[in-house]
Structure 1
Amino acid sequence: MKPKITVIIPIYNVEKYLSRCLDSVCNQSLSDLEIILINDGSTDNSLKIIDEYKIKDKRIIGLNQKNQGQAAARNAGIKLARGKYISFVDSDDWIAPDMLETLYNHAASEGSDIVMCSIMKAYSLDKIVSNVSGSEFIVKITSDNISEESYKYFFEYEGASLCNKLFKSEMILNYDCNSVRLPLGEDMILNLKLLTFMPKISFINESLYYYFANESSITHKYSESQISTYAIAMKEVIDLATTNGILEDMKKVLPLIVFRGFSTTVFNCYSYNNRIAFLRSKIKEMLNEEIYYHWIRQGITSRSTQLIKNKSNKLHTDIVFFLLSKRLYLITSIIEWMRFMLVTSKKN
């Protein structure tokens, strides 16, 4: 008999946090679970901890593989999944005791393909910030609403993450999960591809997922390949939207999603080297990728920023869109440098 939910947890060198994560999953109020732990070539005691939990909890399936990255580890877990629904948890995060039961009951009662909740951001056990996104909703994605609902999904309701959601397994299994193996933006790209399948989405206005803002996390790291790999992934999304006949319907939101990838990459560059000259060189490198330049210009012609409700965010995006469309790299890098200085000072 199929378990109600398969929980997939990729694991790499998280011995300090792994027990906290696994305890939160194993002690869920919903017990009908399959828990798949993928050790992605850890060099610390993570594998030993996995083996200990496998002995304690027979619902756990362990898989050991050479280090291939988080996306490949998730894909390996997906191939083993038997649950009616699939949930992803990052191994340094944890979840509320009733998260899976709450999401499952809502999915079952509403027939939703994706159910998501808000995220609590934990900088430490003593500093946890609630991030309740907004009012609850249920929506069926269609060609008429995909731009507006995609914007709301990604920018207002934590849609870029995979980990605050429950996915109907058929939708995940029908997706070619081997096609995305990115060090950056993998969550957003997979979510965006799933939206092109026109799912029914529900949002629950409760903070049930605890995201640990660990500065050593892969999402904060810079690598030389980030710019090209994100560009390749966005091209896959454009191709999929074209194949599904919805590219025209998504023309308003795609520039904002490309811009989000741009902003994340620039921030990672800033975290690695906060000199303005370095930022300028990387911004220029990104704009040499045709997909960035094309869709940022498209953002101006399609008036994409009309989707942005926050006035300061809209103004910032309008300014940067204009500067990038004119290839004014130095001014853009100074503005982004000032913005990131402000963001990092607030965190501290």
Structure 2
Amino acid sequence: MEPLISIIIPIYNVEKYLNECIDSVINQTYKNLEIILINDGSPDKCGPICDQYKLKDDRIIVIHQKNKGLSGARNSGLEVASGDYIGFVDSDDWIGEKMYEVMLNLLLKYDLDIIECEANQTNHEIDYKTGSYDVAIENSFKALHRIIKNSSFPVWRRLYKKEIIKDSRFVLNKTSEDVYFMIDNIPKTNKMGYYGFPFYNYRANPTSIMRSPYNLTRLDDSISAALYLKNELVSFISNNKKNEQGVKQKELLLVVQNFILDQLIYHYKMLNYYPEVDPKHTNRKKVKNLIDKNYFNSKNHSPYIKFAKFLPEQLFKFLIDSNKIRHKALKSNQFT
């Protein structure tokens, strides 16, 4: 019998896009699917839309619940998923019709724990026939190195063997939940595959919290996730001295250190671009201290990282303010 794939789709306030999303899953060329729709207390017509689909396709399971957020909705899906393999699709996105057929075939062919594809961030789905792609087989070190270096954390990029993630749940009330989920699960893998075709079509949602004005929630969640990543992977690296394949321990540690600094410098700059969110400089001091603590010498550092390390906070603020003035002047000159 063909393996069963459970597809978990958390749904909230996306009635404009929901049909396209669900249709793309229903119309997969691989048919042995369990499609789990979690209506997470959506205030629009998403609930009735889900119920209508359930009447048309007996592969669909619908869960109606009070709003628990993205992580809570995904966790509800994980509680009921009965498939041999598990995938995630966000309800404002859609997927190519061969996504799960190709990914499952690769996963089985190479005896993988997880297979990952690329994402397409345009409104034009690519014809699968137009490209030829090889699958890269990675151990956990190589997979972590690539994922962290490219910040390719979203869980919807992957098809997971259920045995790998069956005991995992998404952390609640975080905007970086995918970082935690990845760090908790990729180290468990023996073999992971990366396939470069962009089966997943990602829609940039203008109402997403990550596209909203800069705020302290984004700061706290991002830094907490980055520090969690660092602490867990430093422990993982130190406990796996004999990595014989591909990426060495020091290479993975370097990409982790660079990731931490990149996250910190981003927020240090943003706090200075938007000083109104940090009127007492409390958060700037905290981030500056973390930059000092995590800094290491490297010729590849951006100038801003070096400035953040070696300049006092007020001088760094002066640098940011000068850049703001320069950018405004350049922008105004475009229209004169």
1:216-227 mapped onto 2 (5 Å cutoff): 216-221=207-212, 222-227=214-219
Quote the residue 1:253 is aligned against: 255
Residues 38 and 64, structure 2, Cα contact 8 Å, conserved in 1: yes
Quote the residue 1:83 is aligned against: 83
* Residues 263/81 of structure 1: CA separation in 2 closer, same or farther (3 Å cut): farther
Amino acid at match of 1:324: A
Give the alignment partner of residue 319 of structure 2, picking from 331, 342, 347: 331
* Residues 294/102 of structure 1: CA separation in 2 closer, same or farther (3 Å cut): farther
- Give the superposition deviation at 1:276: 5.2
Residues 283 and 333, structure 1, Cα contact 8 Å, conserved in 2: no
Quote the residue 2:175 is aligned against: 184
* Residues 325/265 of structure 1: CA separation in 2 closer, same or farther (3 Å cut): closer
Cα distance in 1, alignment partners of residues 321 and 182 from structure 2: 29
Residues 160 and 191, structure 1, Cα contact 8 Å, conserved in 2: yes
1:140-219 mapped onto 2 (5 Å cutoff): 140-142=139-141, 149-156=143-150, 159-175=152-168, 177-178=169-170, 180-219=171-210
1:100 matches 2:88: no
What secondary structure sits across from 1:43 in the alignment? coil
Gap runs ≥5 in structure 1: 306-316, 343-348
Residues 2 and 84, structure 1, Cα contact 8 Å, conserved in 2: no
Cα displacement string for residues 59-118 of structure 1 (whole angstroms, at most 9, x for unaligned residues): 111112221211111111112111111111110000000001110000011111121111
Residues 94 and 210, structure 1, Cα contact 8 Å, conserved in 2: yes
Residues 288 and 308, structure 2, Cα contact 8 Å, conserved in 1: no
Residues 35 and 60, structure 2, Cα contact 8 Å, conserved in 1: yes
- Give the superposition deviation at 1:139: 1.2
Quote the residue 2:246 is aligned against: none
Quote the residue 1:11 is aligned against: 11
Gap runs ≥5 in structure 2: 240-248, 331-336
1:46-65 mapped onto 2 (5 Å cutoff): 46-65=46-65
Cα distance in 2, alignment partners of residues 40 and 228 from structure 1: 25
Moved more, 255-264 or 322-331: 255-264
- Give the superposition deviation at 1:162: 1.2
Quote the residue 2:223 is aligned against: 231
Identical amino acids, percent of aligned pairs: 28
Cα displacement string for residues 265-294 of structure 1 (whole angstroms, at most 9, x for unaligned residues): 679x69xxx955448869972550588436
Alignment RMSD (CA, Å): 3.7
Residues 6 and 33, structure 1, Cα contact 8 Å, conserved in 2: yes
User: Higher Cα Rg: structure 1 or 2?
Assistant: 2
Residues 253 and 304, structure 1, Cα contact 8 Å, conserved in 2: no
Residues 18 and 91, structure 1, Cα contact 8 Å, conserved in 2: yes
Q: TM-score, normalised by structure 2?
A: 0.78
Quote the residue 1:293 is aligned against: 291
What secondary structure sits across from 2:181 in the alignment? helix
Quote the residue 1:310 is aligned against: none
- Give the superposition deviation at 1:262: 4.3
- Give the superposition deviation at 1:163: 1.1
Residues 9 and 37, structure 1, Cα contact 8 Å, conserved in 2: yes
Cα distance in 1, alignment partners of residues 140 and 200 from structure 2: 24
Cα distance in 1, alignment partners of residues 210 and 125 from structure 2: 19
Cα distance in 2, alignment partners of residues 283 and 333 from structure 1: 15
Cα distance in 2, alignment partners of residues 283 and 137 from structure 1: 46
1:260-275 mapped onto 2 (5 Å cutoff): 260-262=262-264
Cα distance in 2, alignment partners of residues 336 and 319 from structure 1: 17
Cα distance in 2, alignment partners of residues 197 and 252 from structure 1: 21
Quote the residue 1:320 is aligned against: 304
* Residues 30/129 of structure 1: CA separation in 2 closer, same or farther (3 Å cut): closer
* Residues 236/152 of structure 1: CA separation in 2 closer, same or farther (3 Å cut): closer
Cα distance in 2, alignment partners of residues 111 and 281 from structure 1: 54
Q: TM-score, normalised by structure 1?
A: 0.75
- Give the superposition deviation at 1:337: 9.8
Cα distance in 2, alignment partners of residues 2 and 59 from structure 1: 15
Residues 288 and 309, structure 2, Cα contact 8 Å, conserved in 1: no
* Residues 230/277 of structure 1: CA separation in 2 closer, same or farther (3 Å cut): closer
Quote the residue 1:314 is aligned against: none
- Give the superposition deviation at 1:191: 1.6
Cα distance in 1, alignment partners of residues 105 and 325 from structure 2: 45
Cα displacement string for residues 180-213 of structure 1 (whole angstroms, at most 9, x for unaligned residues): 2244222233223323324422111212110012
Cα distance in 2, alignment partners of residues 112 and 337 from structure 1: 52
Amino acid at match of 1:331: L
What secondary structure sits across from 1:251 in the alignment? helix
Residues 119 and 211, structure 1, Cα contact 8 Å, conserved in 2: yes
* Residues 152/215 of structure 1: CA separation in 2 closer, same or farther (3 Å cut): same
